[in-house]
Amino acid sequence: MAIEKWSDDIWLIKLDDEPALSEDLVQARDKAQREANMPHIVLDLSGVTRLNSSNLSQMLRIRKEAIDRGAKLRLAGLSDPIWAVFLTTGLDKVFEFAEDIPTALAALQIEN
């Protein structure tokens, strides 16, 4: 996992496939929680080819923490198979998405 602090209040987190994905999501949430002001987060899923229920659960936890602390979470760079997981589970109505990383970062900058 690579965390790029795009600005003072926006982090870009690049994720990769398992076996690292589950642990990376836990670490991302833990690092964001330790911040005095939780940053807005863009999860770059362009390197992810499979998701399991544990991965989705961790993303939901990050989303809840962000909402509770006034931050936003965007998922970006989803391949068609990953997008299908969100559509099938109904989570496409829960998360906010962007087609690519630049779009996600620009949207967060404009909204803040």
Confidence (pLDDT) at 1: 67
Measure CA 85 to chain center.
Answer: 15
Given a contact cutoff of 8 angstroms between Cβ atoms, the answer to whether 66 and 74 are in contact is no
* pLDDT value of position 6: 87
Distances in whole angstroms, Cα of residue 12 to Cα of each of 7, 67, 90: 9, 17, 25
Would you write out the chain's pLDDT as a tens digit for each of its 112 residues? 688 888 889 999 999 998 889 999 999 889 988 888 899 999 999 999 999 999 999 999 999 999 999 999 999 999 999 999 999 999 999 999 999 999 999 999 988 7
Decide if 80 contacts 99 (C-beta within 8 A). Answer: no
Token pair of 8 as six digits: 């003072």
CATH code given to domain 2-111: 3.30.750.24
Q: Say what the pTM is.
A: 0.93
Instruction: Report pLDDT for 85.
Output: 96
